Structure 1
């Protein structure tokens, strides 16, 4: 039962198909900041489109991992989803979990975007969330039909640094970090950081098998 819940949650957690775009707010950011945040998402989906031309799921995931790393703030994802457990991590655990999370995200995109045929991605303007954060909506269509809508939350990695994704909102409330924290806690309680590493590896393998 627990494994079934984990498998069902994995797709929602990564938020590839089920996550719908939330209503935007007016853009109050300086035009250059809004454009930079939207460009982060736009550049990522350009890499996703190029990825679809590769034959195997393993090739697509490997190609996309560097794009995931430059688009997502993986250390922030891990830190926020581990909550208090973050301070218990040794350096090798941090590296292993970051690699596992990066690979899972890349493999999930590789599994869900397997063909470039009639793929259309529209990137919205960046909406102002607060001084340090912007959100960007994405509409994905294939063969003229809507496949998914998403809203990515981004922040600046440092003063004047790059905009990176730190969360993904779900259609009826809730967000990826809340869901990820819940399943991280379940795995940590069951078997510690070894169990969490194995969970990330197993989920990536399962998505890879679905390609």
Structure 2
């Protein structure tokens, strides 16, 4: 484990204690007794480099504090294909393989990540067939999130729409028909929320 500067330990404690109501950079600076924004950002970057902190660069209140630092490269379980279209396979409990991923790519703990390969064209132009999709494992999602889900035993990647009429699964390709008003008699669950898309295809 990489040693922490005294001020970095203090910052980490403040971030943990306020995770439910995150501090602004200004408030964090005041609480940590750091007058210079540059010095504060230096310590935050060091906490990221040492694997104790994951931050959204576009939102200072969006961060995750890790109890144990992550290695620079982590191995994430790959679960086969998720159809961006009408067919797919059901996720099981055993990954096909483990893929090495730079932990800096993930803005959440690597232990919560899984990988699927995209198939089909219904999520173009955001996701293309052959893209590697990294999702955060969770069973709920916000409106408009892209999710990896199982619908009637078909695994797919869709945009989740929560409306008055119920749950809807939409494609980004306007030529594809949505699945709307999923009722209680149908088998549906969310496996995770799409967080990263790695493309190896030339557009």
Same fold (TM over 0.5): no
Which structure is higher in strand share? Answer: 2
User: Which of the two has higher C-alpha Rg?
Assistant: 2
Which structure is higher in helix share? Answer: 1
